[in-house]
Amino acid sequence: MTLQWTVEQGIGRLTLHQPPSNTMTMEFFRELQALMQEIALLKPLKAIIISGSGRHFSSGADIDELLVSADHQTMLENYRALVLLEQLTIPVISAVRGVCLGSAFELALFSDFRICAADAVLGLPESTFNLMPGLGGIQRAAALTGKAAAIGIILRGDTFPAEDALRMGLVDAVVPKRNLQMISMAFATALPVNFVKADRVICLHKFLKPLHATI
């Protein structure tokens, strides 16, 4: 399995598991899609937290595999996995430490909330190997940070620290590395059961900011 799934206290824990850097293979996207279909039918969860196994969130797609098999149908299937994730009525939190690049950043951008450890490094580096983000990352980045800043990060394709991502509005909070799991879990627990996406910003102010301040 390229991903692990457990439920703790009503919170689903989805862990990208392909050490050392949790590369997202075609197999991963298939498993993600199957899991998302299953979760939609499960008894209600309070929230889902996505994280990476080990030191990193994920280095993104397996480029060699992608270039061999990136036909439109495969890409649409991969994209569908992210859309299913987004369409869940359960709030989804990405808890990011280490690298979070390319498709992995796109996965995080499809979550409702992004909490980063201070050591997180993010980016959409596709253009540096003559590609572009292809799972909706361009649309999401533009919506969160504005077109001009999005042009800058996507065309340059360089990586940036969590603090820069926070300044650009691409992530919601930067916390000390040792507190990432605790804060993510506490935030997930604090979110209202009737969460709707329109309340995203209110939830950040009401539940994440105080946690951030007290810990």
Partner 1 sequence: MNPIDNVTFEVLDEIGVICLDNPPANELVIPGFIPVAIFKEWTDSASLKGLIIKGAGKNFSAGGNLDVIFKTADHPDILQSLMRDGLELLKFIRHLEIPIVAAINRVCFGAGLEIALACHIRVASANALLAFPESNQNLMPGMGGTAMLPGFSGFSQSAKMILGGDMINAADAKELGLVDFIAPKDQAFEYALTLMQKMTHGRPVKVITSIMKALKNSSDLSQDEAMAEETKLFCSLALDEAMRRKTSEA
- CA dist., res. 146 & res. 205, Å (int): 21
What's the distance, CA 6 to chain centroid? 17
Contact between 11 and partner 1 by CB under 8 A: the answer reads: no
* Residue whose pair of structure tokens reads 């495969």 in the numeric block: 74
Comparing CA positions, the residue from 146, 172, 158, 55 lying closest to residue 102 is: 158
Contact between 150 and partner 1 by CB under 8 A: the answer reads: yes
* Residue whose pair of structure tokens reads 């994440």 in the numeric block: 208
Contact between 149 and partner 1 by CB under 8 A: the answer reads: yes
Contact 17, 58 (CB under 8 A): no
Nearer to partner 1, 29 or 207 (CB): 29
Show the binding pattern over residues 127-146: x = contacts partner 1 (CB under 8 A), - = does not: x-xxxxxxxxxxx--xx--x
Show the binding pattern over residues 37-76: x = contacts partner 1 (CB under 8 A), - = does not: -----------------------------xxx-xxx--xx
Kindly tell me which residue out of 39, 154, 175, 208 binds partner 1, with binding defined by CB under 8 A: 154
Amino acid type, 179: N
Contact 100, 108 (CB under 8 A): yes
Nearer to partner 1, 23 or 184 (CB): 23
Question: Which positions lie near partner 1, rule CB under 8 A?
Answer: 66-68, 70-72, 75-76, 79, 127, 129-139, 142-143, 146-152, 154-156, 158
